[in-house]
């Protein structure tokens, strides 16, 4: 028999984790790189069928963030200025500020198998990896927003990373920082087990 592992309350971790849309300022509360490494370490141990390990990660630095901020702001301003009276420039500026306030950004890509069955399973594996990442982040007082917004579809993002969209699909932008207390508590609800479980004889 192995010695019992020290108990951490996993259920409490799963239930308390929330998607974060606001972060503490990175000037006052910088994110130490080793905490991100811990998250990546958790991510790479996610289950994956046939050990395809389909996940790839990009941690953005100052230069790449500047390029991505422009892509983000352009996409957002184009969409918002269509159905609003405020001008494109105004939305662009606001979006730029919003993006710049995100302390750390990691993009996640899935290596695309040519086999559609493997591709589907690989997406599931990547989702497991992202959830491992998010839970490890939460356990270190960090919050994450998993975004699947338009920057992930934009060809300029693929050029920035130097990847071919036929071979790798971007499936998540992880926005990371120390948690602001307002971590979208309205989402802290789920259907009860009785509603989602069917017990068969």
Ligand X SMILES: Cc1cc2nc3c(=O)[nH]c(=O)nc-3n(C[C@H](O)[C@H](O)[C@H](O)COP(=O)(O)O)c2cc1C
Write out the residues near ligand X by the rule CB under 6 A: 18-19, 145-149, 184, 187
Residues 158-168 as b/e (b if ≥16 CB within 10 A, e otherwise) read: bebbebeeeeb
Cβ at position 179, least distance to ligand X in Å: 11
Cβ at position 114, least distance to ligand X in Å: 23
Distance CA 157, CA 155 (A): 5
Distance CA 111, CA 52 (A): 9
C-beta of 75 vs 147, nearer to ligand X: 147
Both tokens assigned to 179: 């948690």
**Position of tokens 């695309």?**
112
Cβ at position 130, least distance to ligand X in Å: 8
Cβ at position 119, least distance to ligand X in Å: 15
Distance CA 77, CA 87 (A): 8
* CA end-to-end span of the chain: 35
Cβ at position 145, least distance to ligand X in Å: 6
C-beta of 87 vs 148, nearer to ligand X: 148
C-beta of 31 vs 126, nearer to ligand X: 126
C-beta of 18 vs 76, nearer to ligand X: 18
C-beta of 62 vs 185, nearer to ligand X: 185
Q: Name which of 56, 76, 26 is nearest 176 in CA terms.
A: 26
């Amino acid at each position: 028999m192995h010695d019992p592992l020290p108990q951490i309350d996993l259920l409490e971790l799963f239930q308390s984790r929330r998607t974060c849309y606001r972060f503490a300022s990175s000037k006052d509360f910088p994110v130490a790189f080793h905490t991100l490494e811990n998250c990546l370490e958790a991510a790479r141990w996610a289950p994956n069928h046939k050990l395809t390990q389909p996940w790839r990660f990009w941690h953005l630095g100052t230069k790449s963030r500047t390029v991505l901020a422009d892509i983000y702001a352009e996409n957002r301003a184009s969409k918002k200025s269509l159905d609003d009276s405020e001008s494109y420039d105004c939305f662009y500026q606001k979006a730029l500020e919003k993006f710049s306030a995100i302390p750390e950004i990691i993009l996640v890509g899935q290596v695309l198998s040519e086999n559609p069955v493997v591709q589907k399973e690989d997406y599931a594996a990547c989702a497991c990896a992202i959830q491992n990442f998010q839970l490890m982040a939460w356990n270190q007082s960090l919050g994450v927003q998993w975004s699947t917004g338009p920057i992930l579809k934009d060809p300029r993002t693929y050029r920035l990373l130097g990847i071919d969209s036929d071979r790798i699909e971007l499936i998540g932008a992880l926005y990371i920082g120390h948690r602001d207390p307002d971590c979208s508590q309205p989402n802290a609800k789920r259907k009860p087990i009785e509603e989602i479980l069917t017990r068969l004889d």
